[in-house]
Amino acid sequence: MQDDHPVKMPETAVAVIGAGPGGLAASRWLGAHGLVPAIMEAAPRLGGQWNAASATSATWPGMRTNTSRIMTAFSDLDHAPGTPTYVRQEEMLNYLERYAFTFGLLPHLRLGTRVEWLERTAEGAWLIRSISDQGTRAEIFRQVVIATGRHNLPQVPEIPGLSSFDGALGVAHTAQYAGAERYRGRKLVVAGCSISALEIASDLALGGAGNVVSTNHRQRYILPKLIAGVPTDHVMFTRAAALLGEVLPPEELAAGMKSTVVKAAGRPDQFGAPAAAENIFAAGISQVAAFPCGRGRGTHRRAPLDRAHRGTHRALLGRLHLRGRWASLRHRLPPVASLALQGDRRDDRS
């Protein structure tokens, strides 16, 4: 279909751009209220970030959710029996496809359809131009839901020496990580202290990498994903905690949270990492299944301080090194085969 003459869609039709969790939930709600969603998804399969085959997905094989199974489900559909506490990428994708099937969304999907243009018309409606294997379309909808997600393109931090890094396997953003096999036996650096960076560092160390150095600007407190067998989000991030956050002074709230975190997981410096800031809100909290609170393979020993790192402290946990305050690749890192960078991902997913 050519876009010379836009098609005016029925008043009940609502364009939904994106078939990830947000787009599917919005479409389910629209259908329940007598409206008809037209769900446009650029990838050939629904799922958003959880569709690892999508060009804009940042998931990797075996990746698990940051939140537990109960907290990572829609209120109107549970996960299938036997789903683990922290859901794997492929299981999340299956869940989203089951959700679309259960609530009759499959006939409304336009997979492989990329929205190229969205424009307000003089009458207050919305002109959408899209392209697919069948050609281009121009349609006018009264209502549009934009469910493209927040993350699309890797945000690579500016680091002196990055452009001249000459490790054999080069530099990769964590969005490009596809598993540990490629890095077996290699020396690696993972820059970042958020969940993705720590879980990839753990995956590399446990997957046979020679050495993995985890380095960061700011050391965070690290929580395991289970506390005494209970999912951490059930312990830490409760309604009671949210209500306390509305009435307690910030300093008292920070002290209470730090006490709980340290009791559950210890301090980072107890595991050879740099000490985190005393105020847990200033330091931040990260989370990971196996690092550094879990045990890695091999022995746990201290590595000597390196004067060139200006006070950075590293320790070996199995094959995993912890190092703080990276600023210049040229002067601060040992010879390594590859560098993985964790940064934010820019907006504009479609």
Question: Is 90 exceeded by the pLDDT of residue 104?
Answer: yes
pLDDT band of residue 345 (cuts 50, 70, 90) is low
Distance in angstroms (rounded) separating the CA atoms of residues 218 and 65: 23
Q: Which of 90-104, 118-132, 314-328 has the lowest mean pLDDT?
A: 314-328
**What digits encode the pLDDT tens for the residues 239-289?**
888 898 899 999 999 999 999 999 999 999 998 888 999 999 999 999 988
Q: Which residue has the higher pLDDT, 290 or 112?
A: 112
- 246 dihedral zone (left: phi>0; alpha: psi -120 to 50; beta): alpha
Distance in angstroms (rounded) separating the CA atoms of residues 283 and 220: 5
In this prediction, residue 342 carries a pLDDT of: 61
pTM: 0.81
Task: Output the CA–CA distances (angstroms, integers) from residue 146 to 5, 23, 346, in the order listed.
Answer: 23, 8, 16
- Give the CB-side neighbour count of residue 1, counting CA atoms within 13 A: 12
Residue 112 one-letter amino acid:
G
In this prediction, residue 139 carries a pLDDT of: 97
Cβ-contact 126, 120 below 8 angstroms = yes
Question: Is 60 exceeded by the pLDDT of residue 34?
Answer: yes
Cβ-contact 235, 227 below 8 angstroms = yes
Examine residue 292 and say whether the peptide bond preceding it is cis (omega within 30 degrees of 0).
yes
Cβ-contact 19, 87 below 8 angstroms = no
In this prediction, residue 214 carries a pLDDT of: 86
DSSP state of 216: E
The Cα diameter of the chain in Å comes to 71
Distance in angstroms (rounded) separating the CA atoms of residues 317 and 306: 17
pLDDT band of residue 313 (cuts 50, 70, 90) is very low
pLDDT band of residue 148 (cuts 50, 70, 90) is very high
The residue among 204, 176, 179, 178 whose CA lies nearest residue 189 is: 204
In this prediction, residue 311 carries a pLDDT of: 27
The sheet carrying 320-324 orders its strands as 170-173, 338-341, 187-191, 211-216, 320-324, 315-317, 300-302
